[in-house]
A and B are shown apart, each in its own frame.
Chain A
Amino acid sequence: MATALAFQHVTKRFRNGRVALSDVSWSIAEGRRTCLLGPNGAGKSTSIRILEGALRPTAGSAELLGEPIEGPGYAAARMRTGIVPQGPGMYADLTAREYLRFAAELYDTRPDRVIAAFGLRDHLRTRLAELSGGFQRRVVLAAALVAEPELLLLDEPTVGLDPKAGREVHDYLQQVMRGRTVLLCTHNLAEAEALCEDVIILRDGQVVVQGRLADLRRGARSRLRLAVHQGPEALTARLDGIGPMRVDGRSVLLEVADPEREAPAVLRRLLEAGLDVYECTPVQASLEEVFLEAVG
C-alpha cells in the first residue's frame, strides 16, 4: 500500500528556541485512519501545521500524498486534502454561505453537496461568528470536505464543544472518515479509539509508540477484573502474591500474563477461600491504558 503521509527525521525548532519535534519519523499508508496522540506540547499540532504547509521543518522532510511539502507537487496534493484546524476564529463579517462558497471556489467546485450533507441549509444566512459552536465546527468540516478530498487532517475537531454538539460532530466524522486516509490529532482518547485503527503517540517531540491499535492493546498489560460479595479488601488479601493489582470501585484489576489461561486457577483459589465471586472477566487494555503506559 502506498504511503499517504510521512515524516522523515523531522525536527522543528521555533524562533524562540523551543524544540517542538525532534528527529521524528513516521508514516501512514493510504486508506488508514490514524490518531496522533500526546500530552500538551508533545508536538501534535506542529505536525499537522507542517503537513498543511504553515510551518517548515528545521531539518528532515515531510510528504503529503507522496509529495514533499516543499516540492512542486505539493500545491496539487493540497487540493486533494481537507483540513480542519484546531479552534479557528470565525469571521464576523461573512455568512456561512459566503464562507462555504469562498472555500468551494478555492477548490474550483460548488458547496451545495456539503451544505446538504451537514444540514446547514437553514443556517446559511447566519454570520459565522454568530453560529453555535457545533454549527461552526460543521461549517469548517464542510469546507474541508467540499472537494471530496482523499486525505483528511483533523486537528482536535471536537475540542471545546458541549457533549451534544461533540456527539453530532463525532457522528459526522464517523461518516466522512470512511474510505479516506485520516490523521486525527486529539486529546479525546475515546474519540480516537472509536474513529481510528492506528495510533502514533508523541511525547516531548518524539514518537514513543506507533502501530495498530489492536496490536498495541494486545501488547499492553493484560488484566482480570474480579469482584466478590465480601468486598475488594477481602479480595486483595486473597490475591496477594499473584501479581500487581489495583482496586477499581467494587472490583479489583489483577495483572496477569494470559487472562484466559490463568482465570480458572485464580477463580478456584478464591472459591476455595470461601469468597462469593460474582465477576471474573479478562480485560483488554484500553487506548487510555496504552497511552498512559507510553507517556508515563
Chain B
Amino acid sequence: MKPPRLSRAVRVLLRKELRQFLRSRTAVLTGLMLPALIMVIAPLVQLAASAAGTAQRATSTLPAGVPGMSGLTQLDDLFLYVTFPLFFVLAGLMTPSLAATHTVISERERRSIELLVALPVSVTDILTAKTAANLLVAAVTLLPLFAINAVAVLTLTQAGVLYVLAALVLVLASLTASIGISLLLALVARDFRTANNLNGAFVLPTMIMTGLCVTLVPGLWRFLVLALLMLALGGLAYVIAVRWLTFERYLT
C-alpha cells in the first residue's frame, strides 16, 4: 500500500510555511530555549543529582500500592518513569503551540489570508500545510534535544533502547496533540491573546491526564497509553478543525 501523498497545492503551501518559519533566525533560536530547558537541562540536573546521591531519600516517600509506582525502587526509576514522562509531554506540548497559533492568527490579523483566497487553494490545503509545517519544525527542534536526553539516559541509567523508543513515541504524539489543538483553538479564537489563553488552559488538563497515567499505568505501558491519548486528542482536533473550517469562518 502506498503511503498517503500530500497534494501539490499542500506541498507548495508547505514550502511557503517553512520559508516563513525560517525567515526570523532570532525566533528560531529563542524557540529552542524552552524545549532545551525541559528536554535537556532539567532531566540532566535530575540525573546528575541522582548520580551524586544527593536525593537518595526520595524513593522512600512513594505511596505503596499505586500501580504506576510499584517496582520503582531506585531514584533513577522515579525520574525515568515519573518525572521524565511529564517533561516529554510538556516539551511536546509547549514547543509548537505558540508557532502553530501564530501561523493561523497572523494570517488573519494581517489580512494575508486574502492573498491565499485569491489563489487556487482550498482552506483544507492551508490547514494541512500549516499542520505539516509545524510538525516538521517542532520535530526538527525537539529531536536533537531528545537525542541528548537519550544519550544521557542510556549512559547514566539502567534504561535500554526500548525506553528511549517509547519516550520518542510519546514526544512525537505530544507534538501532534499540541499542534492539532493549537490550530483548532487559533481558528476558533478571534485574536492571538485569546488563542494563547485557551492554549494555556489546555495544558493544565493535559498535564493532569499525564499525571494520572504516570500514577496508574505501570512500566513502559504508561508511555504507550499516553501516546495513544495524545494522538487521539491531536487527530480529533485536526478532524474538527477541517470539518468546521471554511474560508468564511477564517476570513470573518
Residues of B in contact (CB 8 Å), total 26
Is B246 within 8 A of A56, CB to CB? yes
Is A231 positioned at the interface, with any CB of B under 8 Å from its CB? Answer: no
CB proximity to B under 8 Å, residues A24-64: 49, 52-56
How many A-B residue contacts, CB cutoff 8 Å?
A: 82
- From A91, A107, A143, give the contact of B112 (CB < 8 A): A91
A107 nearest CB neighbor, chain B only: B120
Pick from B14-22, B34-42, B164-172, B214-222 the stretch touching chain A. Answer: B14-22
Chain A residues with CB below 8 A from B118, complex form: 52, 83-85, 88, 140, 143-144
The listed residue with most A CB atoms (<10 A of its CB), out of B19, B112, B248, is B112
Interface check A256, CB cutoff 8 A: no
Bound complex: CA of A131 vs CA of B88, how far in Å? Answer: 44
Whether A14 touches B252, Cβ cut-off 8 Å, given contacts A52-B117, A89-B114, is yes
Whether A85 contacts B117 by the Cβ 8 Å rule is yes
Per-residue A-contact encoding for B102-143, CB less than 8 Å = 1, 0 else:
000000001111110111111000000000000000000000
In the assembled complex, which residues on chain B have CB atoms less than 8 Å from the CB atom of A94?
Answer: 16, 19-20, 23
Contact in complex: A108, B19 (CB < 8 Å): no
- Cα A52 to Cα B117 with chains together (Å): 7
Q: How far is the CB of B136 from chain A (nearest CB, A)?
A: 17
A15, A106, A108: most-surrounded residue (chain B CB, <10 A): A106
What would 5 A/B residue contacts be, using CB atoms closer than 8 Å? A49-B117, A49-B251, A56-B248, A94-B16, A102-B12
- Please give the residue numbers on chain A whose beta carbons come within 8 Å of chain B beta carbons, in ascending order: 14-15, 49, 52-56, 75, 78-79, 81, 83-94, 98-99, 102-103, 105-108, 140, 143-144
> CB-CB < 8 A to B12: which residues of A?
102, 105-106
* Contact A106-B252, Cβ < 8 Å, known A88-B111, A93-B23: no
B119 contact from A90, A92, A103, Cβ within 8 A: A103
Asked if B30 is at the interface of the complex by the 8 Å CB criterion, the answer is no
Does B48 sit within 8 A of A, measured CB to CB?
Answer: no
**A210 CA / B196 CA spacing, docked (Å):** 49
Q: A83: nearest residue on chain B (CB-CB)?
A: B118
Contacts of A81 in B (CB 8 A): 120
Q: Helix, strand, loop or mixed for chain A's interface?
A: loop
Q: Which residue of A lies closest to B120 (CB)?
A: A78
Tell me, in angstroms, the Cα distance from A143 to B8 when the chains sit together: 18
In the complex the two chains form, is A54's CB within 8 Å of B112's CB?
Answer: no
Check if A89 sits within 8 Å of B115, measured CB to CB: yes
Q: Which residues of B contact A55 (CB under 8 A)?
A: 247-248
Given contacts A54-B248, A55-B248, A94-B19, contact A106 B120 (CB under 8 A): yes
- CA gap between A113 and B184 in the complex, in Å: 39
**A234 CA to B132 CA in the complex, in Å?**
78
CA distance in complex: A89, B19 (Å): 18
Knowing that A89-B115, A143-B115, A143-B118 touch, tell me 16 more A-B residue pairs with CB under 8 angstroms: A15-B248, A49-B117, A55-B248, A56-B248, A79-B120, A84-B118, A88-B114, A89-B113, A90-B110, A91-B110, A94-B16, A102-B16, A106-B9, A106-B121, A107-B120, A140-B115
